[in-house]
């Protein structure tokens, strides 16, 4: 790309500096790169017009896109109104596993190709899921909380309060895509028996480290730990509710690092308060951040993290490189690696 204008709309995680550096590595000094800094996560993401999980506003984007042919971003909102006011735009690349901050129909109608970055945070999310399992099963997080409160928690050496090891434990994975499969390999290295349930996965997706289970109820009944890694769709919303939790063995552990909507959190709190579950670890919530009066804050044996499973420095760097590579492919007339609206390519 020897000329033209590219917008790098970064934020405090995938910064405009990272995006610009990756673009220069791919495109050289030819195109003009305009940068825009968005205030996420200092300012939480939100709905912007018809798109979700977005940072910034439509007017700022319209001004920044003046004369721009290609834009790369993490969270900037690309709404129907934005596309209507960006006549030169031909490519948007979102450095996320799904471009939920882009109106894909409006992009397609405007003839704008949208690409995204599947798998950019798979390793980070998999490592974090295993870490959350360990923190929950071995009382790491709850032990820290008590000790930080200047109380020596000697009760963890009582047999009924002691944690359990992953070795020889059965761990059930609900969802076996890129992240779930990595979690399975990591758990297998601990010596765990891994079960995996994913009705949308091809049979060849299940390697030797995981036993494919076709029935969710069977996986729940056999697992000492259940970890959620499914995508949130209308079919999977509240996939794990009171009836499903009741199928888990007494004293088992439930982990959710996928999406808050997969799990009925009232049912989870009930199971923890009643002692049917030994513990739970969650990194995602039905509402983020949870409201101050949420029952989650008063439920015992619950380990919580603020939706950071997919957050690492390597993820931000990898995301910037993926974006820049897609711009280079577009500039050179090569097929995109991950198009979200491939119908644009056929028009």
Residues designated as active site: 259, 288, 307
CB 32 within 8 A of CB 12: no
Which residues contact residue 131 at a Cβ distance below 8 angstroms, ignoring those fewer than 6 apart? none
Token couple for 35 = 């940068």
Helix-strand-coil percent breakdown of the chain, rounded to 5?
35, 20, 45
The three-class DSSP label of residue 80 is: helix
For Cα atoms 223, 228, 231, give the angle at the middle one, nearest 5 degrees: 145
Token couple for 157 = 């050496």
User: Between helices 122-137 and 313-331, what is the axis angle to 10°?
Assistant: 160
Kindly give the pairing relationship between strand 210-212 and strand 113-115: unpaired
Report cis status (omega within 30 of 0) of the bond before 289. yes
Which one, of 275, 277, 274, 235, lies nearest residue 256 by Cα?
277
Which one, of 182, 176, 174, 185, lies nearest residue 220 by Cα?
174
Per DSSP, 342 falls in state G
- Rg of the chain on CA atoms, in Å: 22
Token couple for 212 = 């494919």
């Amino acid at each position: 790309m020897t000329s033209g204008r590219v917008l790098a709309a970064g934020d405090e995680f995938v910064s405009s500096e990272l995006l610009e550096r990756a673009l220069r590595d791919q495109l050289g000094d030819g195109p003009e790169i305009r940068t825009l800094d968005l205030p996420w996560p200092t300012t939480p993401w939100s709905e912007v017009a018809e798109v979700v999980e977005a940072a910034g506003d439509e007017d700022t984007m319209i001004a920044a896109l003046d004369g721009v042919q290609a834009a790369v971003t993490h969270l900037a909102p690309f709404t129907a109104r934005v596309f209507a006011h960006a006549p030169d735009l031909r490519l948007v690349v979102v450095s996320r596993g799904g471009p939920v901050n882009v109106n894909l129909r409006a992009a397609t109608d405007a003839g704008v190709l949208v690409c995204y970055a599947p798998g950019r945070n798979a390793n980070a999310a998999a490592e974090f899921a295993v870490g959350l399992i360990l923190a929950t099963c071995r009382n790491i997080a709850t032990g820290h909380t008590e000790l930080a409160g200047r109380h020596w928690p000697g009760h963890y050496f009582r047999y009924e309060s002691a944690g359990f090891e992953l070795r020889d434990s059965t761990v059930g994975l609900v969802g076996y895509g890129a992240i779930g499969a990595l979690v399975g390999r990591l758990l297998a290295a601990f010596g765990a028996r891994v079960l995996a349930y994913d009705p949308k996965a091809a049979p060849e997706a299940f390697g030797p480290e995981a036993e494919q289970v076709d029935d969710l109820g069977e996986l729940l009944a056999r697992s000492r730990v259940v970890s959620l890694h499914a995508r949130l769709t209308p079919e999977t919303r509240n996939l794990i509710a009171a009836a499903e939790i009741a199928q888990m063995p007494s004293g088992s552990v439930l982990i959710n690092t996928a999406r808050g909507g997969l799990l009925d959190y009232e049912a989870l709190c009930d199971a923890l308060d009643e002692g049917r579950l030994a513990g739970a670890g969650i990194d995602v919530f039905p509402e983020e951040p949870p409201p101050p009066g949420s029952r989650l804050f008063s439920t015992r044996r619950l380990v919580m993290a603020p939706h950071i499973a997919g957050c690492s420095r390597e993820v931000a760097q990898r995301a910037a490189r993926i974006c820049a590579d897609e711009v280079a492919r577009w500039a050179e007339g090569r097929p995109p690696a991950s198009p979200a609206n491939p119908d644009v390519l056929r028009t």
